[in-house]
Structure 1
Amino acid sequence: MAEVQAVKNLDTVKLISYLLKRTYGQQIADVWDVGLNLALRISDLLSIKFENIEHDRLLLVEGKTSKLATIKLNEKARAVIARIRSERPDHIYLFQSYRNQRSKNTPAKPLSRRYVSRAFAAIGEEVGIDLGTHSMRKTRGYHLYKNTNDIARVMKMLRHSSEAVTLRYIGITQEDVDRDFVELEL
């Protein structure tokens, strides 16, 4: 499996959202748009229940680390969540699977990671990027770093414990560091 990338161009971020909606529907585009704004691992993103959302905050115990993530929702995330909630008031999960809805005895389930991963990979091929479910998290980290140059903030947002891991994760290469030294003259 190829390592997925952060999407470094903001126009491409928007294009991916558009292509996901056009090809796979609004729900998968919503996964992308909300995922970009929450920087969660895909398993945590798909496991969000409406009960985890209190006003403008998401409270969630992360599956991988068992740490409590408390994330203030920005305007875009709140708008998407509010729309989904109004369109699907009976849903338990933010990204609930529509499969087996006719069966009353089947408990609700979120979208599968596999389905989301395949959709992202197909759109990634279309735009020429190794795109996957981690791309949302990596993209948010990359753009936060580029806007602030504060690796500590990115580490805290991604809940990483090492600068080296965070830099590698968001795709900051030695070439990027070299360019920063050349471009910033004091």
Structure 2
Amino acid sequence: MAGWWPALSRAARRHPWPTNVLLYGSLVSAGDALQQRLQGREANWRQTRRVATLVVTFHANFNYVWLRLLERALPGRAPHALLAKLLCDQVVGAPIAVSAFYVGMSILQGKDDIFLDLKQKFWNTYLSGLMYWPFVQLTNFSLVPVQWRTAYAGVCGFLWATFICFSQQSGDGTFKSAFTILYTKGTSATEGYPKK
């Protein structure tokens, strides 16, 4: 079991791009599977494959290139560099990622209006992301080595994917809708038990 970390580290040094892309893709796809379970639904592996396809073909690659571009354009960990990277990430990178997710999933699902989810959920999702991603990326830019930043974003993306996949399928892009479904599921599960 202890041998996996050195092997992963070697792979990340030798082949950083595919290693990060596969880690990111696996973690975000697992987030989709988790949100299905949290809703009490049967596993929809076709949906999870769609998420994996989109994440591996676009999001993970975009993230890898984007994070390296930010580091090249704004090198270092000085406070002004961190804040500039964070601002660029949230003002440029986040809208691209959210838009690509909603449009990409709509294309893969064969929806007639591929922009409908984007129009209905973009702002709520973007604003929800502003409550999560700045903290993640601040940690990423200040503590994580460049070669691991996409993988770290994938670890944090696992939680985000649980939310955004729910939003794409059932929610409105707000954290409130995600927590409401979890709360409703939790209370309905306990209602069947007699009170003591």
Q: TM-score, normalised by structure 2?
A: 0.27
Q: TM-score, normalised by structure 1?
A: 0.28
Structure in which a larger fraction of residues adopt strand: 1
Larger C-alpha radius of gyration, 1 or 2?
Answer: 2
Structure in which a larger fraction of residues adopt helix: 2
